[in-house]
Amino acid sequence: MFLIIFGYFAILTVMAFVMMKVDKHQAQHRGQRIPEKNLWTVAIFGGGIGAYLGMMAFRHKTKHTNFRIGFLVLAMLDFAFLIWSFQNYFNG
| pLDDT attached to residue 58 | 98
pLDDT at position 1:
86
pLDDT tens digits for 15-70?
Answer: 999 999 999 999 999 999 999 999 999 999 999 999 999 999 999 999 999 999 99
Q: What is the pTM of this model?
A: 0.93
Contact 55, 23 (CB under 8 A): no
Cβ atoms 80, 48 nearer than 8 A: no
Q: What is the DSSP string of 20-62?
A: HHHHHHHHHTT-PPPPHHHHHHHIIIIIHHHHHHHHHHHT-ST
What is the pLDDT, as a whole number, of residue 91? 84
